[in-house]
Amino acid sequence: MNFWFAVLRQAGRNLRQTWPSQIMTLLTVGLSVLLFALFFLIYQNMLNVGDKLGDDLRLIVYLQEEPGPEMQEQLRRKITNFDEVEQIKFISKEDAYKRFSEQLGDDRDVLDDLPTDFLPASIEVTPKKNLRSLAQVQLFSEYLNKLPGTIKVQYGQEWVERFFYFTKLVSLVVVLSGSLLILTSIFKVAHTIRLTIINRQAELELLKLVGATNNYIRTPFLMEGLLQGLLGALAGIAALYLIYTWIKLKFSGPGLLHLFDFTFFNGPTIFTIIVISITLCAVGSYTSIQKFLRK
């Protein structure tokens, strides 16, 4: 208990002496958390959209000939060889004809003159609903194209590709802003603590001489780092939440954002961001103080 009393007293002294640079650090950490969380939020929401759009994602493989049961089994095996899929459905020429005529409704009499097998048989492949299958849908379609007896493979090529590249771009930005977060928080915190150490060199040297343990000297600085990480993350996320509500208010009503739910982070994600921020700041302060103690 006396240890923590001493630690808190020391941390209080640190704050009192260097509060301007402490605040600057807090702002820097907060800002980088905000930046990272913003892009991460966008990314996360895009994944949601991707999931929704992925619901409709289906590859249709048109076949030259109607496959017999043996052939069906073989095709099934070949398709699942490539990747797990949600569903594989064989559509015979007859089924295709029925479907088509149902779609035509009252106009179905235009089909009267045509043979019932004028439409090709096909396979409907529904990939698993995740981003990975979205990402490789093109590869998948190329693969399906090479299956024996395939005439042509169809899917919503245009939007899938565009959407996929956009998600890729955003994920790149997430990675970049994440690295920025890592760099700024570690270095800014390390720098501030180095300043404090230089400021109080005489005192820290004296503490060593009168027999302060490394923990006695180190812990206040670590606490400072932890606090920077915690407060910085809270500030960053709070700011992001404000921006989020503002956007929601601004764009409520019919519009693009109404196509899907624009959602904020859930509890565990917020918790993880805070923990990451705290860890980074603690690492920053630890390296600084360790450099001093090792001398």
Partner 1 sequence: MTESTIQPDSMIEMIKVSKVYPPDVKALSSISLSIDRGEMFFLIGMSGAGKTTLLKLLCNMETPTNGLIEVAGHQIHQLKGAKLAKIRQKIGVAYQDFKLLDNRTVAENIAISMEVSYKKPTIIKKRVRDLLDQLLLSDKHDTMAGELSRGEQQRVALARAVANSPTLILVDEPTGNLDSTTTARVMNLLNKCNHAGATIIIATHDESIYRNSQHRILELREGKIFSLQGGSPS
Binding part of the chain for partner 1, among 3-11, 43-51, 87-95, 249-257 by CB under 8 A, reads: 3-11
**Going residue by residue from 187 to 216, which x/- string records binding to partner 1, judged by CB under 8 A?**
---------------xx--xxxxxxxxx-x
Kindly state whether residue 3 participates in binding partner 1, applying the rule CB under 8 A: yes
Binding-site size, partner 1 (CB under 8 A): 16
User: Cβ neighbours of residue 213 under 8 Å, at least 6 residues apart?
Assistant: none
Q: Which is nearer to partner 1, 11 or 174 (CB)?
A: 11
Count of other CB atoms within 10 angstroms of residue 75 = 22
User: Cβ neighbours of residue 115 under 8 Å, at least 6 residues apart?
Assistant: none
How near is the Cβ of 15 to partner 1 at its closest, in Å?
16
Q: Output the CA–CA distances (angstroms, integers) from residue 132 to 54, 109, 126, 138, 293, in the order listed.
A: 10, 43, 13, 11, 48
How near is the Cβ of 9 to partner 1 at its closest, in Å?
8
Q: Please choose, from the candidates 232, 204, 223, the residue with its C-alpha nearest in 3D space to the C-alpha of residue 286.
A: 223
How near is the Cβ of 1 to partner 1 at its closest, in Å?
9
124: helix, strand or coil: strand
How near is the Cβ of 50 to partner 1 at its closest, in Å?
54
Distance CA 145, CA 62 (A): 9
How near is the Cβ of 210 to partner 1 at its closest, in Å?
5
Q: Which is nearer to partner 1, 130 or 214 (CB)?
A: 214
Identify whether the C-beta of residue 213 lies closer than 8 Å to the C-beta of residue 293.
no
Q: Which is nearer to partner 1, 2 or 266 (CB)?
A: 2
How near is the Cβ of 202 to partner 1 at its closest, in Å?
6
Q: Which is nearer to partner 1, 19 or 166 (CB)?
A: 19
Q: Please choose, from the candidates 21, 14, 39, 289, the residue with its C-alpha nearest in 3D space to the C-alpha of residue 166.
A: 39
Positions in the binding site for partner 1 (CB under 8 A): 2-3, 5-6, 202-203, 206-214, 216
